Chain A
Amino acid sequence: MTTPLPPGIQLEKVDDRIMTLNVGPQHPGSGHMRLIIKVDGDYIVSCDPDPGYVHRGEEKMAEYRNYIQNIPHLERPVIHDSSNILYPYCLAVEELLGIEVPERAKYIRVIAAELNRCIYTLYWLAIYGIFLGHSTMFMWPAGDRELFIDLLEAMSGARVTHAYLVPGGVRNDLPANFEERCLRQVDYFEKRLKEYQAIFYKNPILISRTEGTGILSRTDAIRLGTTGSVLRASGVNYDIRKKEPYDVYENMDFETVVMKEGDSYARSYIPYLEMFESCRIIRDAIRKMPKSGSVRTKLKPNPKGGNDEVYKRVESGRGELGYYIVSNNRPEPYRVKISVGSFRNLICMPYLLKGELLGNMPSVYWGLNYWPVEADR
């Protein structure tokens, strides 16, 4: 009886009105994290997210490996968005080492990043669908995701952990006939994407569950420091690809999708609309890409960074993703800090869930585009 209780857990008496629910941490619709929810009947009184269950010390591990050996383990936090999580790392290391990237490699990187954004968004949409009880919406995105996985496998040689982007360019050139195959599959995918409208987004059952739940106002979204689709769903036009273009994004023809509602429905609709923009970027990049040329600048073995520090950020599937790297004249970085979009979006969770029905928890939680493994790093 004297054993101390774990943090966040308290014993309840029979006549207590408020009940504490632990959602998670072992994946009952929450991902690998725990939500400590206090309920009064069916209504949520307070919510306390408790991340850190899958912390694996990526930042510390990066201090013991050189700039190339860091690549495989740094993409592990989000294996289905692995090009985007490596993108800022490559940009930062290139600035540290003073490497110039060939023009063709920049376009190939943009194609890889956009294909990967679609893979991530489809995976997220599949989980979003299944946790709202719509099993067709799990099957369709999971199947269509295969089109993009196939393309990235042809490009990089692996289905999920691509390790394709490296400081200095990309690992290998595109295979023969890739452009034609990519355009064919992207065209077909856009046609499929339009079919999602009738079955999911225009479905009155989904609308009744998500419209008007968990409203995040424009001022709150800015004050809480949210990023990515959550910020754009609250009516803020902010996308790193537009505001601070990296590589060749300034030449690309696309628009930022913004919605004013700020509710759960808008947060689920924005990533879907962004997939159309991704398709546009892929098509544009294939058209504008130089037809031949080098794709990788040769590095010295075991390159050393100077006494310097850099911060580079990109727009990932979950929002702004930045790497802060400090180097002190050694082949290994002195400090690597990863700033991820997931972790920043988690902060609005307690505000959104207060007074909400417990049944609306999954739609609010997954609408935040939160990925626990990335947030814990």
Chain B
Amino acid sequence: MSTAGGIIRALNSGIKHLAVRRFTLRYPEQKLKFVGDGFQFNPETGVGIAGLRGRHILYHDHCTGCQLCAVACEGIAEAIGMVKVNETWKQNKKAIMPQIDYGKCVFCGLCVDACPFYALYMTNDYELSSFTKSALIYTPAQLAVKPKISQDVEIKIDDRGATHG
């Protein structure tokens, strides 16, 4: 008796969910909204600013070519290499800037923590797949592009359960 009752109660609690709205997100059409514009770091206080750790953004007018980001990445992913650029900046005498291989990057963001010149941040862009490995190597010019993002779905909670958007 109690066995049958238990099985019916178990089935019943599952059947109740037929009326609940679905929780899953329809990914390519809907995208989750994140806080802020990606992970940033304030070298004065030594504390970061919350945000998603996606693709990097490089501000050419701040980068001095000091290589601290490449040093920080040594022993972690070795994804950052310094390359020559055809630009002349007063603060960057050697004209070298980081180039990031996203086939190796683990998105830990410790390179952002290492940058003392407000030049390297991270963005909300996480869709980086490509058909070739060489396309995953982002040059300083590619890293300077601000990503276009339309992410607006959030988890909503009401009496009928939790949903996305």
Question: Which residues of A are in contact with B by a Cβ distance under 8 Å?
Answer: 64-66, 68-69, 71-73, 136, 143, 146-147, 150, 153-158, 161, 163, 171-176, 184-185, 188, 195, 198-200, 202-205, 207, 294-299
Which of B5-13, B131-139, B142-150 contacts the other chain?
Answer: B5-13
Can you name 9 A-B pairs with beta carbons within 8 Å?
Answer: A69-B74, A71-B108, A157-B50, A158-B53, A171-B109, A173-B50, A175-B51, A188-B157, A203-B6
Contact of A64 among B34, B47, B50, B75 (CB under 8 A): B75
In the complex, A73 Cα to B106 Cα: how many Å? 10
Judge whether B6 and A69 touch: CB under 8 Å.
no
Residues of chain A contacted by B157 (CB below 8 angstroms): 184-185, 188
Question: Which residues of B are in contact with A by a Cβ distance under 8 Å?
Answer: 2-3, 6-7, 9-10, 12-14, 23-24, 32, 34-36, 38-39, 45-53, 72, 74-77, 106-110, 113, 122, 155, 157, 162
Contact of B36 among A72, A175, A204 (CB under 8 A): A175
Which interface residue of B32, B36, B52, B53 has the most chain A CB atoms within 10 A?
A: B53
Judge whether A203 and B10 touch: CB under 8 Å.
yes
Which interface residue of A136, A154, A184 has the most chain B CB atoms within 10 A?
A: A154
Judge whether B48 and A172 touch: CB under 8 Å.
yes
Judge whether B49 and A146 touch: CB under 8 Å.
no
Judge whether A161 and B106 touch: CB under 8 Å.
yes
Judge whether A171 and B113 touch: CB under 8 Å.
yes
Chain A minimum-CB-distance residue to B122 = A157
Contact flag A147-B14 (CB < 8 Å), given A69-B75, A204-B6: no
Residues of chain A contacted by B162 (CB below 8 angstroms): 147, 188
Judge whether B155 and A69 touch: CB under 8 Å.
no
Q: Nearest chain A CB to B163's CB is how many angstroms away?
A: 11
Judge whether B52 and A294 touch: CB under 8 Å.
no
Q: Nearest chain A CB to B11's CB is how many angstroms away?
A: 8
Judge whether B155 and A185 touch: CB under 8 Å.
yes
Q: Nearest chain B CB to A150's CB is how many angstroms away?
A: 6
Per CB-CB distance, the 4 closest pairs between chain A and chain B, nearest first, are A172-B48, A157-B53, A204-B6, A298-B46
In the complex, A184 Cα to B154 Cα: how many Å? 13
Known A-B contacts: A175-B51, A299-B46. Give 11 more (CB < 8 A).
Answer: A68-B72, A69-B72, A136-B14, A157-B52, A158-B53, A161-B107, A171-B48, A173-B50, A174-B50, A297-B46, A298-B46
Judge whether A72 and B9 touch: CB under 8 Å.
no
In the complex, A143 Cα to B122 Cα: how many Å? 28
Judge whether A158 and B113 touch: CB under 8 Å.
no
Which interface residue of A66, A174, A175, A207 has the most chain B CB atoms within 10 A?
A: A175
Which interface residue of A136, A157, A202 has the most chain B CB atoms within 10 A?
A: A157
Q: Nearest chain A CB to B42's CB is how many angstroms away?
A: 9
Chain B minimum-CB-distance residue to A177 = B35
Q: Nearest chain A CB to B147's CB is how many angstroms away?
A: 15
Residues of chain A contacted by B2 (CB below 8 angstroms): 204
Residues of chain A contacted by B23 (CB below 8 angstroms): 143, 146
Residues of chain A contacted by B72 (CB below 8 angstroms): 68-69
Judge whether B110 and A71 touch: CB under 8 Å.
yes
In the complex, A157 Cα to B106 Cα: how many Å? 13
Judge whether A153 and B34 touch: CB under 8 Å.
yes
